[in-house]
Structure 1
Amino acid sequence: MSGDVYKFRDKSGESEKITINLGYVDLGRIDLLVQEGFYSNRSDFIRTAIRSQLAAEGETVKQSIVRQTLELGLRDYSKADLEAIRAAGERLHIKVVGLARIAPDVTPELALATIESITVLGALQASPELKAALAKRIR
Structure 2
Amino acid sequence: MSDNVLKLRDRGGDTEKITINLGYVDLGRVDLLVQEGFYSNRTDFIRTAIRNQLAAHADAVTQSIVRHTLELGLRDYSRADLEAVKAAGERLQIRVVGLARIAPDVSPELALDTIDSITVLGALQASAELKSALAGRIR
Listed one character per residue, the Cα deviations across residues 51-89 of structure 1 (whole Å, up to 9, x for unaligned) are 000000000000000000000000000000000000000
Residue deviations 1:29-50 (CA, integer Å, cap 9, x gap): 0001101111110000000000
TM-score (norm 1): 0.98
1:55 and 2:66 matched: no
Residue in structure 2 matched with residue 118 of structure 1 by the alignment = 118
Q: 1:138 deviation in Å?
A: 0.2
Give the 5 Å matches for 1:3-82.
Answer: 3-9=3-9, 10-12=11-13, 14-82=14-82
Equivalent position of 1:106 in the other structure: 106
Q: How many residues align?
A: 138
Whether 1:129 and 2:126 are equivalent positions in the alignment is no
Q: Quote the Cα distance in structure 2 between the aligned partners of 1:58 and 1:45.
A: 20
Q: 2 CA distance for matches of 1:38 and 1:6?
A: 33
Report the CA distance between 1:19 and its aligned residue. 0.3
Report the residue type matching 1:89 in the other structure: G
Q: Aligned-residue CA RMSD in angstroms?
A: 0.5
The runs of at least 4 consecutive aligned structure 1 residues that moved more than 3 Å come to none
Q: Which consecutive residues of structure 1, in runs of 5 or more, have no partner in the other structure? A: none
TM-score (norm 2): 0.98
1:91 has 2:91 as partner: yes
Aligned identity (percent) is 79
SS in 2 for 1:69: coil
Counterpart residue type for residue 24 of structure 1: Y
